[in-house]
Amino acid sequence: MLYKNVAKPILFKIDPEKAHHLVVGGLHTAGSIPGVSHVLRSLWGVKETADLAVDLFGLHFPTPVGLAAGLDKNGVAVQGFSSIGFGFMEVGTVTPKGQSGNEQPRLFRLPPDEALVNRMGFNNEGIDAMERRLSTNQRRRIPVAINIGKNKLTPNEEAYKDYQECIRKLYPYGDFFVVNISSPNTPDLRNLQYGSELSSLLSHIMEEMQEQARKHNNSKHILVKIAPDVSDSELESMVEVLQTSGVSGVIATNTTLSREGLNHSNAKESGGLSGKPLSNRSTEIISRIYSQSHGSLPIIGSGGIFTGKDAYEKIRAGASLVEIYTSLIYEGPDVNRKIHAELRKCLLQDGFSHISEAVGADHH
């Protein structure tokens, strides 16, 4: 209630991007002061329970709800975010060279729709800054994934070099990796999701992952984040490529360009839409991937999760883990405890003793 009654009214009065920096900066500071992480955990932490803990990708996730990429772009607040109830988190999207992203304003709230529109454009400080931060932060409470992208000026035919460079530099510091080829805010990036472009890109990426695994004597997993704005046939061919590429799983989905059924004037802004309006579409994509791959391709579900019921729908559709972003902005850090408690109720109602039994239950 502290967030909704006190912090949110203040944050929602100021520019969304400034509010974003305030929150991430605040969590960075909090995480670096001895004892404050403990205070954050007592306020907003989520107690691990046997029915919701997940073992996947060779990692232990104390809860199935993670923080999606985009909030902590530069890995500055890993300690802070680790203390407010997440089971894992993504940092990034990071690109080899730092870049300023698109012109401001580039982040917009749509309060009646419980949504955000962003056209940030992979603004980040680059892989050297990410390495500096993550190398000093090796004691982690939760798995941290590094979400990697290409620089805006890198042509698509050379994109694989950017992804390889990110992996080479950051391999020791990520618990797993996510290939972002689905942001709508980098020109032509989404073209990398299809056909021969996708299969060529992934074969270069997997080569680099294998090379680094040999070098560090430590094998790590890599997932691909896909867009919701794809046709059935495009999705089908994507899943075929993903299954044969050797990647470990898929994140479904990124933001959407659709503006269907929105009420707020900011709907006219260009960029990717996240939040409630994305919920059904991302669940539908999860369901199709699970069905086509017969559950062999692990899925992290993302898009419009505000409640335990929302998360559970994605899990029953085929997601093994889920991620939130927009609901954290609207609901505050209480959202993790709420989702966790509701998820446990959903499992109980359906007679499942562990979350893994509910994964893909709609298909059985």
Could you give phi then psi for residue 129, rounded to 5 degrees? -65, -40
Torsion-angle region of 360 (φ positive above 0: left; ψ -120 to 50: alpha; else: beta): left
Give how far Cα 248 sits from Cα of 17, 219, 258, Å. 33, 12, 28
- Helix, strand, coil percentages (3-state) for the chain, rounded to 5, are 50, 15, 35
Q: What is the CB-side half-sphere exposure of residue 78 using CA atoms within 13 A? A: 26
The answer to whether residue 183 is catalytic is: yes
d(CA 65, CA 336) in angstroms, rounded, equals 7
Could you give phi then psi for residue 58, rounded to 5 degrees? 70, 20
Q: Which residues contact 6 (CB under 8 A, 6 or more apart)?
A: none
Could you give phi then psi for residue 229, rounded to 5 degrees? -90, 65
Asked whether the beta carbons of 30 and 325 are under 8 A apart, the reply is no
Strands in 181-262 per DSSP E: 221-226, 249-252
Point out the catalytic residue in the list 183, 248, 274, 302.
183
Q: Looking at the annotation, which residues are catalytic?
A: 183
